[in-house]
Amino acid sequence: MVLCLNVILFLTLHLLPGMKSSMVSLKNNGYDGIVIAINPSVPEDEKLIRNIKEMVTEASAYLFLATKRRVYFRNVSILIPLTWKSKSEYLKPKQESYDQADVIVAHPYLDYGDDPYTLQYGQCGEKGQYIHFTPNFLLSNNLLFYGSRGRVFVHEWAHLRWGVFDEYNEHRPFYISSKNTIEATRCSTHMTGGNVVLKKCQEGSCITKPCRRDSQTGLYEAKCTFLPDKSQTARESIMFMQSFDSVTEFCTAETHNTEAPNLQNKMCNHRSTWDVIMTSDDFRTVSPMTGRNLPPHPTFSLIKSKQRVVCLVLDKSGSMNSEDRLFRMNQAAEIYLVQIIEKGSLAGMVTFESFATIQNNLIEITDENASQRITANLPQEANGGTSICSGLKAGFQVITLSDQSISGSEIVLLTDGEDDTISSCFDEVTQSGAIIHTIALGPSAAKELEALSNMTGGYRFFAHKDINGLIDAFSRISSGSGCITEQAIQLESKALNSTARKWIIGTVPVDSTIGNDTFFVVTWTIQKPEILLQDPKGKKYKTSDFREDELNIRSARLRIPGIAETGTWTYSLLNNHDSFQMLTVTVTTRARNPTTPPVIVTSHMSQNTAHYPSPMIVYARVSQGFLPVLGINVTAIIETEDGHQVTLELWDNGAGADIVKNDGIYSRYFTHYRGNGRYSLKVHAQARENMARLSLRRQNKALYIPGYIDNGKIILNPPRPEVKDDMAEAEVEDFSRITSGGSFTVSGAPPPGDNTRVFPPNKITDLEAKFKEDHIQLSWTAPGNVLDEGKAKRYIIRTSKYLLDLKEDFDNATLVNTSSLIPEEAGSIENFEFKQKLLKIENGTKLYIAIQAINEANLISEISNIVQATKLIPPQELSVPALGTKSSGIRLAILGLAVVLSIF
């Protein structure tokens, strides 16, 4: 298998279609099955293992006390990469894998810093995807301004496991309270401290000055920083500042700061973090442990990744004769074996009908010749019944006959048939430790098929009318090792309706991060078309350059020699047949070199199953390394079981289904249900006209504290690498990516044609307000008629002088006249200005505002985020001085890494 030694990190976690398949379980107050995986690019270091163990051990005790004796960490697996040397104490993996790990340890991309963070983009209370620690964070003692590693782990675990959010806000560090005081954004308000502007240190000294109010906002000037007192009595909150010794609890209903403009209040309707945690699945049935003793320390298992083992288990029953299914299966399986599976993998193949036949024992995939030893045995005839268990058992046999362990090996199971005996081998499958990826072909595939994926942590796919659906599914089943040099990337997947004697022309961009091992594949349904391919420098490839498979599976392939040229490739296809036929074009490639990670797209639904009328959310994550890619076009294509396709443009605008603007997570609500059954998801991401950019900003991370106050003196922590505003984004060249998001299952849905409106407009989450003289100006992103699609009918805007009036009694708050406000299309920016005639506007006037939307069916959205507008006329002497104005400060010497500044 290709190793990733001395590779500058690339990592993107390939999320399972549907929710990420974590192995964590909670039993008798203890968490089992936690997986911490080390990226293959991280050098071997025993100290790293020791520090991980120490971090989790400390975190377990801290978590136990923070949850009031309810939960702790009991069993943890540390996944050692294949690039490290083998040791006798290393165990073989079962279903643990890097791409499904709860915590990953990997270098940052572009050295953007060592902030611990959690990839979290679900709604309030929904689990995150993974926690990311850098090796430097785990090895260095210079990063303790985040707090001890165990405390940081608990902060991130709350993001990951319970779906709570940070209680600070780097963009809005201060707010005006209901008492007309300027407060730091925090929870709880019992956390004391001071506010100061920290100037740059030069020539052995630093300058500080008091914070002054901005005449426009009424808040402190932009560079004002809240520094906590070192000595605290406040015990909360872990989601604000876990680094302080006194902080041992989450904010409760009694201590929660409902006014703070933080993500926790925005996403969770001003609920406390402890309230959200207590309503999670983990805490609904768990009770505090009795006694006074701490729980036992966690136990650790060191598991070393192994060579990838894959066995294809393919259906050749009689029903595969219909709708060209056998041809389509063979085309997709050939692409997988020749273009997708990683070099160095072991692969075998089984076919089955009412019985199973071993076609190939395991073969190491070293080159295309090795792949063809398997593809030569793809089935040419379909007949007989369907026995899925026979196929699985033969697949297990293929693995054991080559002296490989079934545990941790993968089965790719494809079937189109019904089989009422499939559950008879569920126990054997569970005990085997194998990972089973299932592909349901057509509407009649066994209904219990997905249970195999769910119980083993495998992918699940569905393909039907989409002629490229099988190819997309196979292209998605890549290695979970975390090594970029092994990953195949799909650039194009297009089905073309080709009329007789007509040319079809298309383009595929190849960016500079990819181009190794590039294939262009054309398939047809009746007769081979004429093919013309031109690279960006004008070199042409003709039909004769494309190799037609000897199996007569109606496909032709061209492997581009060396590295594919960067730029736009143009393909032209001429249908030489006298009638219409379907043509497809598939393009795959790999990273150009191991030092520059390519842009990767992963997609999934918010749930694997949905019961109507529960809305679902489509997610697509676009990243380069760990960094989000912004400003691109992302389109989701969802196919229903009857072959109907729905196309959705996904948004990264921080509204509707999207939590945070410009975080590289593109999302949208899906409500186009057409009956029950399986649905499939495919996503296409495109960067055009040099609009794409790379963001260096991060969300959901442990708070960096620049310093603290100790007995009237400021002690500064070591600085962390700062991302300057002009460096916060980097340009990304044009690209194209295709990925399958797998399948999901719907129940309780009305049949096609039932257009009953059951979904209201989506909740507005980005309402903003400010005074302009005696008027109030509002802005927000327009919701839709149905969640985030279409156009709402009208708005309801209400105001109050008191926050609780809007939160608890919205319908009785003061109504604003919105007769002139006509809703725009969903996703548009709305602006509205009004004057509250019955309210006397004077210095210090404060007003809380919220909004609802109503659709044509008179369904009403949830109440928006509640915003505050304050009229402030600060005295002239309190306004911020103009740039260049000198102000007094205090200059003191730097002592080592800490700077001591006096406060007067």
- Pairwise CA distance, residues 580 & 486, whole Å: 38
CA distance readout (Å), 401 to 48, 311, 360, 362: 37, 12, 11, 8
- Pairwise CA distance, residues 248 & 676, whole Å: 47
**Residue among 723, 719, 703, 722 at smallest CA distance from 156:** 703
Q: Which residues of 322-341 are buried (b: 16+ CB within 10 A; e: fewer)?
A: eeebbbbbbbbbbbbbbbbb
Residues 6 or more apart in contact with residue 853 via CB below 8 angstroms: 760, 761, 762, 764, 783, 792, 793, 794, 795, 796, 823, 860, 861
Name the one residue in this structure whose structure tokens are 């006014």: 259
- Pairwise CA distance, residues 640 & 443, whole Å: 10
- Pairwise CA distance, residues 700 & 121, whole Å: 9
- Pairwise CA distance, residues 700 & 167, whole Å: 10
749 C-beta neighbours (distance < 10 Å), count:
18
Distance of alpha carbon 728 from the chain centroid: 21
Q: What element of type H or E holds 35?
A: strand 34-38
Q: Which is catalytic among the residues 156, 259, 353, 641?
A: 156
**Residue among 467, 470, 459 at smallest CA distance from 741:** 459
Alpha helices per DSSP H over 518-665: none
- Pairwise CA distance, residues 77 & 408, whole Å: 14
3-state secondary structure of 454: helix
Name the one residue in this structure whose structure tokens are 């595969």: 320
Residue 126 among the catalytic residues: no
Beta bridge partners of 814: 799
Whether residue 904 contacts residue 709, with contact meaning beta carbons closer than 8 Å, is answered with no
Sign of CA dihedral 858, 862, 863, 865: negative
Whether residue 335 contacts residue 521, with contact meaning beta carbons closer than 8 Å, is answered with yes
Name the one residue in this structure whose structure tokens are 């963001």: 695
How many H helices and E strands in the chain? 13, 51
- Pairwise CA distance, residues 539 & 72, whole Å: 62
Name the one residue in this structure whose structure tokens are 């009953």: 756
Half-sphere exposure of 14 (CA within 13 A, CB side): 24
User: Annotated catalytic sites, by residue?
Assistant: 156
